[in-house]
Structure 1
Amino acid sequence: MAIGAPKISTAAAKPHLIRVSKAAAQFEREPLVRPFGFKGNYLTELWQIATRLTSASGNTATGLATQSVLYGDAELFAAHTEMKGNAMMFALVQKTLDIVKATAFTTPVDLQEKILPRVIAAGKEITGRAQLHYNFILNALVSIDNAAWLLYAAENGYKTFNEMIPAPYRAALGYRNKQIAVLFQVPYSMPVADVVKAVEQGYFIIKIKTGYPGSQEEMLAFDMQRLTEIHHALKDLPASNTAHGRIWYTMDANGRYAEKDTLRKYLSHAKTIGAFDRILLYEEPFREDLTEPVNDLGVRLGADESVHSEKDALQRISQGYSVLVLKGIAKTLSLSMRIAKLAEERKIPCLCADLTVNPVLIDWHKNLAARLAPFPGIGMGLMETNGDMNYKNWAAMKSYHPAAGAPWMEVQQGVFDLGPDFYARSGGILEEVKHYDDLFR
């Protein structure tokens, strides 16, 4: 339900100049239930980063992030041990804190624009990679960006997510969805029986990870066989939340497909088995260097990893991509607000995709997804979350959330129900998270 732009306090027109006097970061290693595969490789753990910023005026804020080196730079991930990749990204977090302490800012968007050139240079130096992927940089910035947003709210007296949305981004984030549909992610190794169980629990949008490891031929053969197995199991199962009464599919290759013809073969196979009409969208199928038009494939394509700025988003839109995927928990809330503004101005739908983040970060992302225009064909917000199926210590991680037990935290029949309490408390993200704050004591 859209209710127009939120009311913002008059103080928002003149935000304070913020100077960071102290900054520190800590991390926790969280093991996964099983190796998690995408981008042709596998993760076994994810580091949870906590960054604490203290302003010259005495306000303190702790921002969180989940590091995913495989998402950030798949080639770097493959070239090192998993531990070494995480250590390099955390080293970039620490180096960036020195840059932040030397940079006064008014809004977190302003801060990010000021520090990016120096952070990019530091990232290349730390990793020894002249061609370090931009997403590695952005992922390292997430905890700092989130802390900056919380510090910005404290400095200006903002009590809710609505209040801290800067004026240029209010129109893009002016909706109030009562529900958010949840994409149920299916990695390479998940048993099909688990997918069927998810549908029986009420999930009605199934996100299939494509781009299997190996050559392009091996990848395509596995991806097609995987779709056949999943569709065979789900094709006759009903879904009460879809207009056609059947399960929707989305796919995500994380840029593994080298050529359009490879995707054409996959889509042709989908038509052969009767799955094509179930495809809601296909996320980031192609490598970033593929710049030819893609609006002749017959499906809605979403741009994710390849969008690092407004310029990248415009490039993808000009190619024929018709969805922009926001990853505030992977590429910063500041960048996601900028991309959401561009999308709203061009009436391009957006969804929020996961990074297997912790429960607190899910609500950071939920605040974003809740305020986007309802997704076409779904009639509500759309986001992915998969931490519950991947973290070994998920129950303990949920207990860290300041609103643990709140009804909006649980998926019911494939959706998050967002009542007035969710919006009043901003999903709990502006409240103290004691577990992570205690890392600094």
Structure 2
Amino acid sequence: MKKYKTIQIAKTDSNFEREPLIRPFGFKGAYLTELWQIITRLTSTSGITCIGLSTQSVLYGDADLFVKNTEAAGNTLMYALTNKALELVKERPFNNPIELVEAMLPKLLLAGKQLTNKSDLHINFSLNSLVSVDHAAWLLYAAENNISTFRELIPEDYKTALSAQNDKLAVMFQIPYGMPLEDIKSAAQQGYFVFKIKTGFPGNQETMLKNDVDRLTQIHDALKDVRTPYTSNGKILYTMDANGRYERKETLLRYLQHAEKIGALTQILFYEEPFPERNDELVSDIEIRIAGDESIYDEKSALKRLEQGYQAIVLKGIAKTLSLSMKIAKLARERNIPCSCSDLTVNPILIDWHKNLACSVAPFPGINMGLIETNGDMNYLNWDQLCSYHPANKAVWTNINEGTFHLNQDFHMRSGGIFEMSKHYEEVLSN
């Protein structure tokens, strides 16, 4: 068996860029107007340097903190926690990044609560702050051990769970609260066939439900006659994501009754994170698949949701670290639970980082290919400029074709360009 080097971090650096959005982006009952891109550099004692990236989403990480601060203040707090992680990363050597994250996380969680003065700070806030460090650590691990593909990067204990090699990924087209219907129809004309509908409109539970069912009616009326070659019955599919806004199962059942009434229920692939994390209701009697996202942040929380009857897990390597996502993917594979990969409106380089994970998990039932969400192209004001920072910009596998990413031999050989340096982000840290 190959022997892997022990790595010690000698130096760190970081910076960030603020990227405006085309329009306010709504979920969890609130709205984002910009996303900070974090650039982190780790240098080992052997002199090897690698740069990792992350996209901060304070609203995803801790919605309560987001609404109680200005948007810039919330981002500043998360970035400060990233810099705390850069202090912690130098404290001990590591053999692989999973081991590193396990060692750092307890101290980082405590630091996050102290930094934000919030004793109930959600763990996802801290995990998001750690993504760029985790990303850089994986690239450093690869460089130190002469690893040149994502498949080689996967530690032995996780290879079975991540042994697939999907040559296509279905792209979930995200429909936020305010997206015009014409944009949704245009996406269908372009070949998208999985539509992720953001539910959980702002307001109390009755107001939320009324707006959610009205929105579903509008969307289904626009898409019900669309046909696709990628599903067994030729109909397009829906997923929903409430980001924990539905307080009780009874409210969700009313939504699903409406979906059945208008003929949309059989087209729902899964409903993502309908309930708050504290909700312990069983969902095994709900006739559609329920998926866990932000309520799953370690193996214990994953097992809790599976015991409640959840039948899918959303992996978010770009929000909760690749290290954690590998552990959850392993648990899911052992229990025959399908996984999709969801977005955090990340930049193009992180999309390909995540595509490597998405193409390595088993095909999602009902579509027989991997399943990923990416929505940066519809949300970033300067999307084309962000694409230009990708070292493999314009490679055919960076483009969405008829609602899918086609991952050819070049993608797999280059692992989506994840081991290639971005000149732009190098320059950001050089200035």
Q: TM-score, normalised by structure 2?
A: 0.99
**Do residues 29 (structure 1) and 18 (structure 2) align?**
yes
Question: In structure 2, which of residues 194, 201, 204 is the aligned counterpart of residue 205 of structure 1?
Answer: 194
**Do residues 373 (structure 1) and 389 (structure 2) align?**
no
Residue 190 of structure 1: aligned partner: 179
Paired with 1:166 and 1:236, the residues of 2 have a C-alpha distance of 45
**Do residues 279 (structure 1) and 268 (structure 2) align?**
yes
Q: After TM superposition, give the deviation of residue 185 of structure 1 in Å.
A: 0.2
**Structure 2, unpaired ranges of 5+:** none
Question: In structure 1, which of residues 396, 405, 409 is the aligned counterpart of residue 398 of structure 2?
Answer: 409
Q: After TM superposition, give the deviation of residue 164 of structure 1 in Å.
A: 1.2
**Do residues 351 (structure 1) and 368 (structure 2) align?**
no
Runs of 4+ displaced beyond 3 Å: none
Residue 321 of structure 1: aligned partner: 310
Residue 4 of structure 1: aligned partner: none
Paired with 1:407 and 1:275, the residues of 2 have a C-alpha distance of 34
Question: In structure 2, which of residues 410, 419, 429 is the aligned counterpart of residue 421 of structure 1?
Answer: 410
**Do residues 127 (structure 1) and 116 (structure 2) align?**
yes
Q: After TM superposition, give the deviation of residue 24 of structure 1 in Å.
A: 1.1
SS at match of 1:86: helix
Q: After TM superposition, give the deviation of residue 39 of structure 1 in Å.
A: 0.4
Kindly provide the CA deviation profile for residues 281-336 of structure 1, in whole angstroms up to 9, marking residues without a partner as x: 00000010011211111110000000010011111111000001000000000000
Q: RMSD of the alignment, in Å?
A: 0.6
Question: In structure 2, which of residues 30, 44, 51 is the aligned counterpart of residue 62 of structure 1?
Answer: 51
Residue 75 of structure 2: aligned partner: 86
SS at match of 1:425: helix
**Do residues 74 (structure 1) and 63 (structure 2) align?**
yes
Paired with 2:92 and 2:296, the residues of 1 have a C-alpha distance of 26
Equivalent pairs, count: 430
Question: In structure 2, which of residues 274, 293, 299 is the aligned counterpart of residue 310 of structure 1?
Answer: 299
SS at match of 1:376: coil
Paired with 1:73 and 1:268, the residues of 2 have a C-alpha distance of 31
% same residue = 59
Q: After TM superposition, give the deviation of residue 104 of structure 1 in Å.
A: 1.0
Kindly provide the CA deviation profile for residues 181-225 of structure 1, in whole angstroms up to 9, marking residues without a partner as x: 000000000011111110010000110000001101110000000
Residue 226 of structure 1: aligned partner: 215
SS at match of 2:72: helix
Question: In structure 2, which of residues 14, 38, 46 is the aligned counterpart of residue 49 of structure 1?
Answer: 38
Paired with 1:384 and 1:122, the residues of 2 have a C-alpha distance of 31
SS at match of 1:35: strand
Kindly provide the CA deviation profile for residues 379-429 of structure 1, in whole angstroms up to 9, marking residues without a partner as x: 000000000000000000001001011000000000000000000000001
Residue 239 of structure 2: aligned partner: 250
Amino acid at match of 2:193: F
**Structure 1, unpaired ranges of 5+:** 1-9
Residue 147 of structure 2: aligned partner: 158
Amino acid at match of 1:108: P
Paired with 1:400 and 1:98, the residues of 2 have a C-alpha distance of 28
Kindly provide the CA deviation profile for residues 135-183 of structure 1, in whole angstroms up to 9, marking residues without a partner as x: 0010000000000000101111111111111001100110111100000
Q: After TM superposition, give the deviation of residue 268 of structure 1 in Å.
A: 0.3
Question: In structure 2, which of residues 274, 289, 292 is the aligned counterpart of residue 300 of structure 1?
Answer: 289
Amino acid at match of 1:278: Q
Paired with 2:131 and 2:424, the residues of 1 have a C-alpha distance of 19
Paired with 1:147 and 1:296, the residues of 2 have a C-alpha distance of 43
SS at match of 1:320: coil
Amino acid at match of 1:385: T
Paired with 2:340 and 2:398, the residues of 1 have a C-alpha distance of 18
SS at match of 1:254: coil
SS at match of 1:213: coil
- Asked whether the 8 Å contact 1:103–1:115 carries over to 2, the reply is no
Note the 1:163-182 alignment, pairs <5 A.
163-182=152-171
Q: TM-score, normalised by structure 1?
A: 0.97
Paired with 1:142 and 1:435, the residues of 2 have a C-alpha distance of 19
Residue 388 of structure 2: aligned partner: 399
Amino acid at match of 1:292: E
- Asked whether the 8 Å contact 1:73–1:136 carries over to 2, the reply is yes
SS at match of 2:270: strand
**Bigger shift: 184-193 or 154-163?**
154-163
SS at match of 1:431: coil
Question: In structure 1, which of residues 89, 113, 116 is the aligned counterpart of residue 105 of structure 2?
Answer: 116
